[in-house]
Structure 1
Amino acid sequence: MVPLSLSLQFARFPDAPLHRAALPRHKVARWLRAALGDDVQMAEIAVRVVDAEEGQRLNREFRQKDYATNVLTFDYSGAPVVAADLVLCAPVVAREAAELDKPLADHYAHLLVHGALHAQGWDHETSEADAEAMEARETAILAGLGLANPYARD
């Protein structure tokens, strides 16, 4: 098992207890470890769950996109020691989970895996082939965790 230093942080916002309940530390660690590649020897990951205002501000400042997005990855070093911050915007995650008719925790699992893959250099915005490869990797990881394919269309 890959050693993981995990910091799990929740901003103060009205629905924070609901999101905290969906993200027990042991599950977050399990989901992140599942996403770490074979070349990773150690990981230092901070996960921060924020409100829409903070999510939008960070997305605007760091990606020049003026809206709150579901997950932002700030990667500082790749394998063999992965260091990253993952910022999840709670209202966006909750809305998407409801729209997809899936449990909040399952959607968080997907987004944490997605963010951890970004921290290791995976990128779905560079080409269609890269997007397909990243989706396939996410799907395989989530299947290993007993979760459904997040990209399956009904």
Structure 2
Amino acid sequence: MPEDNRDLAASAPLPVDIDLLVEAGDWPPQSDLLHLVERAVGAVLAELQLRWTGRSELSVVFCDDARIRDLNAEWRGKDRPTNVLSFPAFEAEEGFQPPMLGDIVLAAETVAREAELENKPLDNHISHLLVHGFLHLLGYDHETEEEAEDMEAVERRALARLAIPDPYA
């Protein structure tokens, strides 16, 4: 896809209202984070060619490892921090446009550590995790090998729209 089309697809007006909270952790400025969220959501919607007739709401929380560890323990039974968690507000159904998509939560220390270990720009890694988390809210998963392959393929294409290299390469 030509570069200008990628930018256009990722910057089209969104049918999603974004509620962003920087709860804790060493994150870029809130305005930068909002820009990353808008671009990630836009790229996924463009890649999947999803068309909303109304509006939906998405909550994105930027927190620290302590907070995401608590959430991971409570909701997944895993007493350790993780990079991103998604909490869908509704069961995903084809053709169903929920008024609330759900919550995406990212953890500062884990995200920064992973970006450094993988020698990736922090913004690129945040964008990847936002795409990943948003796909979970839309019903994608990676519990089986086939599901993982499908989800990763959409992630790669959405990130390519943002000129972000394949995180799985």
TM > 0.5: yes
SS at match of 1:26: helix
- Cα offset, 1:4, TM superposition: 1.3
Alignment of 1:146 onto 2:155: no
Change (3 A) 1:115 1:95: same
Which segment is superposed worse, 38-47 or 90-99? 38-47
Q: Which amino acid aligns with 1:103?
A: P
1:132 to 2:132 alignment: no
Code of the residue aligned with 2:146 in structure 1: it is A
**Are 1:112 and 2:124 matched, yes or no?**
no
1:58 matched to 2:71? The reply is yes
SS at match of 2:89: strand
Q: Is the 8 A contact 1:52 1:90 kept in 2?
A: yes
**Larger strand percent:** 1
Return the letter of the residue paired with 2:44.
A
- Indicate conservation of the 8 Å contact 1:45/1:85, yes or no: yes
Post-superposition offset of 1:119 = 0.3
Match of 1:71 among 84, 89, 96: 84
1:43 matched to which residue of 2? 56
User: How far is the alpha carbon of 1:34 from its aligned partner?
Assistant: 1.5
User: Over aligned residue pairs, what C-alpha RMSD do you find?
Assistant: 1.8
Alpha-carbon distance, 1:43 to partner: 3.1
Q: How many residues align?
A: 148
Q: Is the 8 A contact 1:142 1:148 kept in 2?
A: yes
- Give the whole-Å Cα distance in 2 for the aligned partners of 1:151 and 1:35: 17
Q: Distance in 1 between matches of 2:20 and 2:30?
A: 12
SS of residue matched to 2:18: strand
User: Which runs of 5 or more residues in structure 2 are unaligned?
Assistant: 1-12
Contact 1:10–1:20 (Cα < 8 Å) also in 2 = no
**TM, length-normalised to structure 2:** 0.81
CA distance in 2, matches of 1:88, 1:66: 16
Offset at 1:52? Answer: 1.0
Aligned residue for 2:19?
A: 7
> 1:22 and 1:148, CA in 2 relative to 1: closer, same or farther beyond 3 A?
farther
Identity %: 41
Higher relative contact order (CA 8 A, sep 6+): 2
- After TM superposition, give the deviation of residue 12 of structure 1 in Å: 3.1
How far residue 26 of structure 1 moved from its aligned partner, in angstroms, is: 2.4
